[in-house]
Structure 1
């Protein structure tokens, strides 16, 4: 698909979100909704991606660093937004077709995008759009067809007559255009509507009036085109995406005891025969090995790597840490910026104090160590192979515990110093 460019419209203010953050940067399962669209079009082989930015453009550009952005200074409508790339695309002789998406539809799948493009290319159409049939089409543009079932135009909700409003076929808002047909259509449109904006949808009527073929495909999956305009819709999108993530993980051989109460973000990697118990939160950039037991009520934060056959129990929080195979962290612990070896036991209530008020420090716990209940490890510190900390010990910074030794007390001291 090297001859296709993708334009993603992300300039809107998103006022109904009632947020200081641009709408397209709100996270869904740990990832900004705009990035789902960017990743999906790239994954099907589209290299040329252009994002139209407007409201708080600087924040959007910073988030999607490396993606070409063009600013729509005045928000004059979707047609005006797409016209901003005219000179770039007309100069690029390698581009024949243009995919246009809205940045607030993060649930669009790679499959439906690919199907739309394939239909467009095979039919040699001037434009191909994605439509759906809805019993309650309120809020969507209606697809108007001729008596021979050919698409004639799209009428937006605000401009539709009472007869057009009863039409149940709606425009989803995903398009593939022949490049020259797109810019021909954009030249023809005018802001003759109640919003006084340049509608991209008006290009469809401009093309059909010039006898340029407009085709369509239909989706029956309403989740595909859920637009996120409010916090409630953001919550709905989160539920759908979370189910997709959980389905993918379970299909890979992981047991999730209660999918309705398990929260796993988009890029978590979990190997087969691991069991995830309820009320577990697994955030971005977390990797979990095979045959592990995680939860209930566990929280694994970014930068956590869990080896095989590890047990993570209730009320355990781990961040930016690696846990070696067969290690057990069963109850009420905080582990931060720590490297833990193999076959280590971390007792209930253990705290790694990694932050000194200015910066965070590393802790190392080597293989076969035994950390007693209620131990506090003040980083930076190292616990050697096979070492033991007694219950309630406070191991202070830079006071490493030698391999094979036992420390107790506050501050922790070598136990053998008190032997006669």
Structure 2
């Protein structure tokens, strides 16, 4: 795969999304759709990635810093977009083939990409494209074949004749080209279509007329080639990705009581024999150990690390915090920017007040501490090992609770157990 570069087309405005955010930066299960494609090709060993940017290019570049971005200053079509990468690709003699993807197809799988590339390489083709059969192909370009079943061309919907529109084989929009064949084809295409744009798909007819072989690979999974152009399609892609994530987690030994009412984002990690109860939200960059109980109605936000055998109950929100093993946080709590040790009890209604209106501060709760019901901990503050806070205590900032001591009241003060009544 090292001699194959990837071009991802991400320059479009996405007007049907009706958004100030570039289409490819909209999140699906907590991750921008463009990043799914980048991660997929990187995972199969393809590290030469070029992203063609245009509309609000600065936002896209910022999101995928470290990836080579090439700007298409005028949106003159997909063929023109690929041409923007010509000089960078031609001067790299190690690149012999080019994979081309659309940035709004985040559901495309690694397996399909690998299958397409393997067919392309084994056939020594000038181009290989991904196709599918649809009973209702409206909106897709049609793959036109000769009587001998050879691909002749791709016709876009707007330019298709009545006879071509009845063709059920569609162009999915995933291609692998021989580098020389690609740029030969791009030099020959013209904007002779209703949109007056340079279509990448027109290169296929150029190649077949020059007797350069064009191959295809088919997919039977319509979810894979769902293009996200509207908010409704974004919602559909979210549903598909959510199901994939949950299936992967359950296959790894996690029990999800009600998958239809559980939300887990891409990038969350959960250990085996953990049980997730309904209406739980687990966002990206959350790590949960084994044999835990999470939910119902819990929300774990990015930067949360949960140890083994932890119980997190209903209406608990945790963010940027570490929870030690055997700790219990059962009811109606907010834990933010906190390091909690092992075997700690966090009573119902506990609030860590981590934000002072200007900055967020850290709280530390050491091993075996017992935080009483309704305690408020105003950060920065530390509760020592084995310390206890009485119900309703307010531990003010920098008033650390010594190890083994008990505090009560507002503001919380150490109980003098030797004081006579």
- TM-score range with shorter-chain normalisation? over 0.9
- Paired with 1:83 and 1:197, the residues of 2 have a C-alpha distance of 13
- 2:217 matched residue in structure 1: 217
Asked whether 1:202 is paired with 2:197, we answer no
- 1:77 matched residue in structure 2: 77
Moved over 2 A (4+): none
- 1:59 matched residue in structure 2: 59
- Paired with 1:89 and 1:413, the residues of 2 have a C-alpha distance of 69
- 1:305 matched residue in structure 2: 305
- Map Cα deviations across residues 34-62 of structure 1 (whole Å, 9 max, x no partner): 00001111111112100000000000001
- 1:253 matched residue in structure 2: 253
- Map Cα deviations across residues 115-171 of structure 1 (whole Å, 9 max, x no partner): 000000000110000000001100000000000000000000000111111111000
- 1:186 matched residue in structure 2: 186
Give the TM-score normalised by the residue count of structure 2: 0.99
Which runs of 5 or more residues in structure 2 are unaligned? Answer: none
Superposed counterparts of 1:32-181, under 5 Å: 32-181=32-181
Asked whether 1:284 is paired with 2:284, we answer yes
- Paired with 1:245 and 1:227, the residues of 2 have a C-alpha distance of 19
Structure 2 SS opposite 1:171: strand
- Paired with 1:387 and 1:2, the residues of 2 have a C-alpha distance of 57
- Map Cα deviations across residues 248-289 of structure 1 (whole Å, 9 max, x no partner): 110110000001111111010100000000010001110000
- Paired with 1:153 and 1:219, the residues of 2 have a C-alpha distance of 19
- 2:4 matched residue in structure 1: 4
- 2:269 matched residue in structure 1: 269
Structure 1 SS opposite 2:132: strand
- 1:410 matched residue in structure 2: 410
- Paired with 1:284 and 1:29, the residues of 2 have a C-alpha distance of 8
- Paired with 2:348 and 2:419, the residues of 1 have a C-alpha distance of 27
- 2:378 matched residue in structure 1: 378
- Paired with 2:186 and 2:346, the residues of 1 have a C-alpha distance of 65
- Paired with 1:419 and 1:153, the residues of 2 have a C-alpha distance of 93
- Paired with 1:347 and 1:196, the residues of 2 have a C-alpha distance of 66
- 2:27 matched residue in structure 1: 27
Q: What's the offset of the Cα at 1:87?
A: 1.2
Q: What's the offset of the Cα at 1:91?
A: 1.1
Q: What's the offset of the Cα at 1:419?
A: 3.0
- Paired with 1:405 and 1:53, the residues of 2 have a C-alpha distance of 60
- Paired with 2:381 and 2:63, the residues of 1 have a C-alpha distance of 36
- Map Cα deviations across residues 223-266 of structure 1 (whole Å, 9 max, x no partner): 11000000010011111111111111101100000011111110
Q: What's the offset of the Cα at 1:350?
A: 0.2
Superposed counterparts of 1:235-250, under 5 Å: 235-250=235-250
- Paired with 1:5 and 1:306, the residues of 2 have a C-alpha distance of 39
- Paired with 2:419 and 2:351, the residues of 1 have a C-alpha distance of 28
- Paired with 2:133 and 2:163, the residues of 1 have a C-alpha distance of 16
- 2:348 matched residue in structure 1: 348
- Paired with 2:295 and 2:418, the residues of 1 have a C-alpha distance of 39
Structure 1 SS opposite 2:216: strand
- Paired with 1:40 and 1:239, the residues of 2 have a C-alpha distance of 19
Q: What's the offset of the Cα at 1:81?
A: 0.4
- Paired with 2:88 and 2:288, the residues of 1 have a C-alpha distance of 44
Q: What's the offset of the Cα at 1:417?
A: 6.4
- Paired with 2:62 and 2:375, the residues of 1 have a C-alpha distance of 42
Q: What's the offset of the Cα at 1:346?
A: 0.4
Structure 2 SS opposite 1:223: coil
- Paired with 1:37 and 1:274, the residues of 2 have a C-alpha distance of 30
- Paired with 2:70 and 2:341, the residues of 1 have a C-alpha distance of 49
- Paired with 1:396 and 1:417, the residues of 2 have a C-alpha distance of 22
Q: What's the offset of the Cα at 1:395?
A: 0.4
- 1:227 matched residue in structure 2: 227
Q: What's the offset of the Cα at 1:89?
A: 1.0
- Paired with 1:209 and 1:226, the residues of 2 have a C-alpha distance of 30
Q: What's the offset of the Cα at 1:88?
A: 1.3
